[in-house]
Amino acid sequence: MMETILEIKHLNKTYPDGTEALKDISLSVKKGEFIVIIGPSGAGKSTFLRSINRLSEPSGGEILFHGEDIVKANRAKLRKIRRNIGMIFQGFNLVKRLPTVRNVLHGKLGYMSTWKGALGLFGQEEVEEALDILERVGLEKQAFKRADELSGGQQQRVAIARAINQSPSMILADEPIASLDPNASRVVMDYLQKACRDEGFTTIVNLHQVDFAKEYADRIVGIKNGEVYFDGPVHELTEDVIKAIYATDKEAMPV
């Protein structure tokens, strides 16, 4: 079948205070898959996703991306890997005081010389490409507005545009719709899915809305207490499994 793009082996993450956020996670991701990770808050979903591009440093294990170990990569190599992995955040993480189009252009930073990038000297071709991508996420009219003038849903679409502009082979989305209303959530998820289908991006999304997960995912991974609890296609995710993933060890709240 399809080639494996990401192979995670025995990934561990222990915080300095001794909290074990990830315990021996192994996962194999095929090219073009749309994976949704579900699990209760605090289960380690976010830490797991952020470990893949090392915004959060893993404590042990291997992450093979296109056969290269991300965990062992030095700074220069890590930057090359990062430009090949688009990241979408819960809080959008756009540079708020800059125009929308400039935020999209940031996707090209990993391909530019240090100084051109630092000074924001983007060429005509790059600007035109960024504007094209903005049109594809339906924001051509907002191109020259400051990012913080846009609504939450629009800002997240700018973030998707920034990720697309990296021409990545994989996209990580950490709770992309957690701070959006249901309507904007649907629009954002639709654009994300469309971008990934059109461009063939492999996608890993953290969600806490199980209904959204079922609707958009090819494959669902359930994480509980820092471990993979479930891994399979959507139809195998029964109500019982969902209950087990979200059940906590602690007593239920007193009524």
Beta carbon of residue 53, minimum distance to other proteins (angstroms, whole number): 6
Contact flag: residue 72 with other proteins (CB under 8 A): no
Contact flag: residue 115 with other proteins (CB under 8 A): yes
3-state SS assignment for residue 86: strand
Q: Count of residues binding other proteins (CB under 8 A)?
A: 35
Question: Please, which of residues 118-147 interact with other proteins by CB under 8 A?
Answer: 118-120
Q: Could you give the string, one character per residue 74-113, with x where binding to other proteins holds by CB under 8 A and - elsewhere?
A: -----xxxxxxxxx-x-xxxxxxxx---x---xx-xx-x-
Contact flag: residue 224 with other proteins (CB under 8 A): no
Sign of CA dihedral 75, 79, 80, 86: positive
3-state SS assignment for residue 21: strand
Contact indicator for 25, 48 with CB cutoff of 8 Å: yes
Choose between 171 and 237: whose C-beta lies nearer to other proteins: 171
Cα–chain-centroid distance for residue 28?
16
Q: Cite the DSSP H helix spans in 40-181.
A: 45-52, 75-83, 100-105, 114-119, 124-136, 152-165
For other proteins, the binding residues (CB under 8 A) are 53, 55, 79-87, 89, 91-98, 102, 106-107, 109-110, 112, 114-115, 117-120, 159, 162, 166
